[in-house]
Amino acid sequence: MKYDHLLGRPFDYKNQNCIHLVRDFYADNFGVQFPNFACPKQFWEHDLNLYMARYQKCGFYLLDCHPSQYLPGDVILCAVESSIGNHAGVFVEDGQVLHHMFGRLSVVEPYRLLLRNTTLAVFRHKDVVLEKTETTANLLDLVSPSIKRKLDEYLGSSRPL
């Protein structure tokens, strides 16, 4: 998958935001073009659930599976400091997510912490055949920090497993 050229882009709400990044990724990797929808600033603050209203029009369907079954090319929808989805990213290899957060440069980061804890939905495109990549993963990366602390406490005690 090609995305190195999408890294380090400065955030510009009108021209280079998270959905522009997903659109460019899909165009470059799969030849898929999305319609250009109007998107008012801070739409989520006005109870406009734009991602959920439009994902099917863009050819996506909602996944109902465990995170271990997410594939490179799947799109995540997050609700960052909101109850409405307001941030999108796309899975790339090794459990990493390409995304472009408000006020930051576009990056690839592990699917954990903020991204994992704010995910509302994961989508797959109906016209794109995604291939599962064989990778190994540290299962503790999928566990929340509070559960990790409990495991550390448990394993640190002299209790038998």
Residues with a known catalytic role: 18, 87, 99
Phi and psi at residue 102, in whole multiples of 5°? -50, 130
CA angle 56, 45, 124 (to 5 degrees): 20
Tokens of 124: 């797959």
Burial class (CB in 10 A: 0-12, 13-18, 19+), 80: middle
Tokens of 66: 């465990």
